[in-house]
Amino acid sequence: MQANPRNIIGLFEHTLRYVVPIFQRHYVWGEEDQWVPLWEDILEKFEQRRDSQKTTSHFLGAVILDAVKKKSTRETSRFLVIDGQQRITTIQLFLAALRDFTSECGFPMLSKAVGRALFNPDPELMENSSEEIFKLWPTQFNRKVFCDILNAGSFEGVNKAYPLIRLPRKRKTEPRDRLVEAYVFFYAKLRDLCANLTEHQSKEDTLLELYGVFKDDLSVVEIILGEQDDSQEIFNSLNSHGKPLSQSDLLRSFVFMRAEKSHEDRDRLFDHYWIRFEDNFWDIQTRRGNLWSSRLDLVTRIFLSSKIGVAVDAKKVHLAYRNWIRTSQPFQTIEDELRSFAAYGDRFRYLVEPLGNDLFSGFARRLQVWDVTTAYPLIIYLFEEANLGKLVMSECLQTIESYIVRRLICHKDNKEYNKYFPEVVGRLRKEGPSHATLRKVLTAGSGATREWPNDQEFERHWCSSPMYNVLQSGQIVTILKMIEDKTRTSKTEEVTITHASVEHIMPREWSDHYPLNGEFIPKEMTEDWFYPQNEGMISRWQQIKEKVQARNRTIHCLGNLTVVTQPLNAAMKNGPFKNKKSALRNSLLLMNRYFDGLETWDETEMERRARVLFETAKEIWARP
């Protein structure tokens, strides 16, 4: 790299353009921390010059630039601003204010001289004069306002384009764009400076001396990277000491840095593909295990893990992505790369915010209930790359859900899902995506972290495990509602239930109305543990202990659970079975008609109903 000291005007004296890449931050400098100190530095040098004191150059910092090879002789030489864009932008706004103030004061030659630091000459010889005429070309977020300020040509023109607005019942005016505020700040300082001149001080000489400060007394170190320098690595290193760059920040800089250098239309690429990721939706933090990350960071990880078929460390996504791009060269153009990433992003957003009533929306909503977002790499791959028909896609989703739900019911560990589902994608890429291949891969999984439970294991847990204590309420409601939907025929009215809750048919406080083997048990003996006070109570507790504990386990099994609306739930409470049966007749759900012909409700009936429900469950969540 080359490092050269340059005065500020010298930085802008040649026909060239400084392009701020899209991945750079918006303009964020403000009055107290940056504008006031800069003005004080300029004023100090100005006073030294006015008093004929010897001055030394004031160093404003470094500007790191990356030269971009011209694509035609008409194109104006272009440099990417890797570091220093806030400083350059502020100097440009100060010079715009100085140009306009000198013009207002009636010094057209000085105004013209200052203007040469803002605009390139000979626009008729340029490739794209609307852009290349500007010495500085900010990011899209700041570009319009910046260009409006420079093109306005006067303080009044800027105020007309961006007037002060005071809302009703507000004392202060609404804040204007930060670029406008910077221009107004420096213009006001120039006006105050000239308003306080003595009768022996010339306004023109004062402004000439101020211009001389920019020509001779303010400097930067201009660092131009060589061909062997990695501008991406330098950008990352420069930003490592401030607010840490996220994995998606690093991805954006990596992609658009290459777009700049490959002469692809980075503005069009940004507008067509990336701008969707500037929405607040993508800033929301999500949690996976103990790690929090933004949704944009998450979809970046999902995209890469799906593409390479291997789980990616959340803290090394950018490194793995860069290596993948450089070694595999999976895309012919940056546009192909962004098109694929945007498609993944759109599908991810639909998974998170399903809006329709179609098959996919229902599946997406249930996937959130199952709390298995780690399946997103597989699901998005199937939708965006597998080219499956609607029927086959439906079968694939049913298979994935069967795998997830069966493992959920059987209490299988899901800690390996983040590794397993990308591996499934890798197998599908290798063997060819199809429903048959998906079933084969999932069926071949073994061990507690990957096996797909068979019917025998599924039935054992379905009928005997206390699901109410294991699953979330929303998961139980969804499971029972899916069974309800499966039992309905085309002749049955569709029922939509909102605010549904889980109801125990035999309540958790069962002592008053539900005898155990024909006898009512004292309430104090209906807990899993009881501490008798005398020998008679010890004997009684030993006789019923195992049966009480078995009942307390059974009442939380699926055979004793149903779905009701909140009003029904409140009405039923801990009443006897005949009262509960009467209340359930008000339910619109077919599953609650099951109880109409029963006279008693005990462990035998619970197990019988669990097996009835299971016959439907194994059809919904079938396994090969």
What residues pair up with 289 in beta bridges, in sequence order?
none
pLDDT bucket at 260, cuts 50 / 70 / 90: confident
Percent of the chain topping pLDDT 90: 64
The whole-number average pLDDT for the span 532-555 is 86
pLDDT of residue 290: 75
From residue 439, give the alpha-carbon distance in Å to each of 92, 618, 622, 623.
62, 16, 11, 8
Name the least confident of 96-105, 155-164, 356-365, 378-387: 356-365
pLDDT bucket at 237, cuts 50 / 70 / 90: low
- Is residue 331 a contact partner of residue 340, using CB atoms and an 8 Å limit? yes
Assess whether pLDDT exceeds 50 at residue 241: no
Q: What is the pTM of this model?
A: 0.76
Assess whether pLDDT exceeds 60 at residue 359: yes
Token pair recorded at residue 440: 């084969």
Coil vs helix vs strand at 3: strand
How far apart CA 378 and CA 307 sit, in angstroms, is: 10
Assess whether pLDDT exceeds 60 at residue 274: yes
Assess whether pLDDT exceeds 70 at residue 598: yes
Instruction: Return the DSSP state at 73.
Output: T
Assess whether pLDDT exceeds 60 at residue 10: yes
pLDDT tens readout for residues 421-430: 999 999 999 9
How far apart CA 61 and CA 454 sit, in angstroms, is: 68
Coil vs helix vs strand at 182: helix
Residue 562 host element (H or E):
strand 561-565
pLDDT of residue 560: 96
How far apart CA 74 and CA 91 sit, in angstroms, is: 27
pLDDT of residue 324: 95
pLDDT bucket at 183, cuts 50 / 70 / 90: very high
Assess whether pLDDT exceeds 70 at residue 493: no
* Rounded (5°) CA angle 78-83-87: 95
The whole-number average pLDDT for the span 310-332 is 92
Average predicted confidence (pLDDT) for the chain: 89
What residues pair up with 161 in beta bridges, in sequence order?
none
**561-565 and 500-504: which strand pairing?**
antiparallel
* Rounded (5°) CA angle 279-178-19: 75
**58-68 and 291-294: which strand pairing?**
unpaired
How far apart CA 228 and CA 238 sit, in angstroms, is: 18
pLDDT of residue 496: 63
How far apart CA 62 and CA 236 sit, in angstroms, is: 16
- Is residue 340 a contact partner of residue 453, using CB atoms and an 8 Å limit? no
The whole-number average pLDDT for the span 459-479 is 95
Assess whether pLDDT exceeds 60 at residue 239: no
pLDDT bucket at 231, cuts 50 / 70 / 90: low
- Is residue 105 a contact partner of residue 97, using CB atoms and an 8 Å limit? no
Assess whether pLDDT exceeds 60 at residue 222: yes
The amino acid occupying position 89 is T
- Is residue 554 a contact partner of residue 560, using CB atoms and an 8 Å limit? yes
Q: Name 229's Cβ contacts closer than 8 Å, sequence gap at least 6.
A: 1, 66
How far apart CA 97 and CA 269 sit, in angstroms, is: 33
Token pair recorded at residue 583: 């209340």
- Break the chain into its structural domains and give their ranges: 2-238, 247-461, 482-620
pLDDT of residue 441: 97
How far apart CA 352 and CA 355 sit, in angstroms, is: 9
C-alpha neighbours within 13 Å on the C-beta side of residue 240: 7
Instruction: Report the greatest alpha carbon distance in the chain.
Output: 115
pLDDT bucket at 540, cuts 50 / 70 / 90: confident
